[in-house]
Amino acid sequence: MAKKRIQNDDPCSVARALQEVGDWWSLLIVRQAMFGSRRFSDFQQQLGIARNILVDRLSRLVETEVLKKVDVGESGRRYEYRLTEKGRDLFPVLVALRQWGDRWNPCPGQPPLVLRDHRSGQPVPRVQVLDARGRPLELVDVYVDEDNSQQDAG
Amino acid sequence: MAKKRIQNDDPCSVARALQEVGDWWSLLIVRQAMFGSRRFSDFQQQLGIARNILVDRLSRLVETEVLKKVDVGESGRRYEYRLTEKGRDLFPVLVALRQWGDRWNPCPGQPPLVLRDHRSGQPVPRVQVLDARGRPLELVDVYVDEDNSQQDAG
């Protein structure tokens, strides 16, 4: 149960959230892919991740169809890793996680990265759980329908 | 870099999402806490987690102030683990993750657990990233303000 090393000075709140809540190289790879990384060397450089771990996690992400591996070489082979629809669909998870990190574990001496909306240039508001009418829901407002599960009867 | 074992027949979509995207005992513990688990034995039983790993993860969650350890014994000591405000604030992350799992990795032969709103009894809609006016944003609609980061310049 080794802990993955995430650099302590990593400026990204997502990475810092992960440092607390789990150890999630895969999600960090997805996050980098969302912000434009496609090549093995990009991921390696941006994440500071060991080569063998990156190989393992990329192939797992391809296997589970979060990423797809595409040959983009015009002469000879050159591979890129691109998000599938399933991978892109992790967007709300990553934004919510980033915001949690920004709120509870900001990087000392650095303002958090700001996620902005192309249309307006405004910061993206906090991701919330909303009811069908768009009213915010907190944890106390919801329950799990237990018909299907004894496990959630806590 | 050992992989944590999550039972293949675990009925929870969150667990199944984690199996693909990372290995996140800590987040599974938080999830159980959100649905009412408080005692060591509850977590152990519900998660099927080895005792030494549970000890480690609980103490890490207490250390990072996601959980607090409370002595609730009337005569003698009895401890409970309760979510702090920081822990409860992971609610949108977990709901978004659960929904992703439900969509992309449903449990074979079992309908997904349904999260409902106490007020209306209706299922909780999909968590989305919204702009300041409440319009849905997709990945292509946002950018990271790069003034603070070279790392996100992918």
Q: Interface pTM (ipTM) of the complex?
A: 0.79
**Does the structure show a pLDDT above 50 at B150?**
no
**Does the structure show a pLDDT above 80 at B90?**
yes
**Does the structure show a pLDDT above 70 at B15?**
no
Is residue B135 within 8 Å of residue A120, measured between CB atoms? no
User: Percentages helix, strand, coil for chain A, rounded to the nearest 5?
Assistant: 40, 15, 45
* Residue B1 banded pLDDT, cuts 50, 70, 90: very low
Residue A105 structure tokens: 């574990």
Is residue B154 within 8 Å of residue B143, measured between CB atoms? no
Its domain, for residue B65, covers 13-109
Residue B51: CA atoms inside 13 Å, Cβ hemisphere, count? 1
Q: Is residue A71 part of a domain?
A: yes
- Collapsing DSSP to helix, strand or coil, A150 comes out as coil
Q: Is residue A33 part of a domain?
A: yes
Tell me which chain A residue has its CA closest to the CA of residue B97: A93
Q: What Rg value do the Cα atoms of chain A yield, rounded?
A: 18
Is residue A124 within 8 Å of residue B142, measured between CB atoms? yes
Residues 6+ apart with CB under 8 A from B9: B107
Counting runs of H as helices and runs of E as strands, what totals does chain B give?
A: 6, 6
Task: For an interface test with B, give the residue of A16, A149, A151 to mutate (most B CBs within 10 A).
Answer: A151
Is residue A151 within 8 Å of residue B34, measured between CB atoms? no
A64 interfaces chain B, CB cutoff of 8 Å: yes
- pLDDT value at position B33? 92
Give the pLDDT confidence of B39-84 residue by residue, as tens digits: 999 999 888 888 998 998 898 889 888 999 999 988 888 899 999 9
- pLDDT value at position A108? 67
CATH number, domain of A62, equals 1.10.10.10
Euclidean distance between CA atoms A98 and A17, whole angstroms = 7
- pLDDT value at position B14? 54
Q: Is residue B5 part of a domain?
A: no
- pLDDT value at position B5? 36
- pLDDT value at position A107? 66
| Better pLDDT: B60 or A21 | B60
- Give the total number of structural domains in chain B: 1
Task: Look at the alpha carbons of A123, A25, B6, B78 in this order and tell me if their dihedral is positive or negative.
Answer: negative
DSSP codes, A36-100: T--SHHHHHHHHT--HHHHHHHHHHHHHTTSEEEEE--SSS--EEEEE-HHHHTTHHHHHHHHHH
Instruction: Tell me which DSSP letter residue A152 carries.
Output: T
- Nearest Cα to Cα of residue B79 among B103, B52, B55: B55
- Collapsing DSSP to helix, strand or coil, B124 comes out as coil
- pLDDT value at position B11? 36
Q: Is residue B145 part of a domain?
A: no
Q: Is residue A135 part of a domain?
A: no
Q: Is residue A134 part of a domain?
A: no
Q: Is residue B121 part of a domain?
A: no
Q: What is the mean pLDDT of residues A27-45?
A: 89
Residue B71 structure tokens: 């002595």
- Nearest Cα to Cα of residue B65 among B52, B79, B83, B49: B83
A30 interfaces chain B, CB cutoff of 8 Å: yes
- pLDDT value at position B88? 94
- pLDDT value at position A42? 93
The pTM score is 0.80
B115 interfaces chain A, CB cutoff of 8 Å: yes
Residues from chain B that touch A89, judged by Cβ atoms under 8 A, are 100, 103-104
Q: Determine, for residues A127 and B122 on separate chains, whether the beta-carbon distance falls below 8 Å.
A: no
Q: Determine, for residues B12 and A149 on separate chains, whether the beta-carbon distance falls below 8 Å.
A: yes
DSSP codes, B23-74: B-HHHHHHHHHHTT--SHHHHHHHHT--HHHHHHHHHHHHHTTSEEEEE--S
* Residue B146 banded pLDDT, cuts 50, 70, 90: low
Residues from chain B that touch A152, judged by Cβ atoms under 8 A, are 12, 35, 113
Q: Is residue A1 part of a domain?
A: no
Euclidean distance between CA atoms A91 and B126, whole angstroms = 12
Q: What is the mean pLDDT of residues B138-148?
A: 80
Q: Determine, for residues B151 and A11 on separate chains, whether the beta-carbon distance falls below 8 Å.
A: yes
A150 interfaces chain B, CB cutoff of 8 Å: no
Q: What is the mean pLDDT of residues B81-105?
A: 88
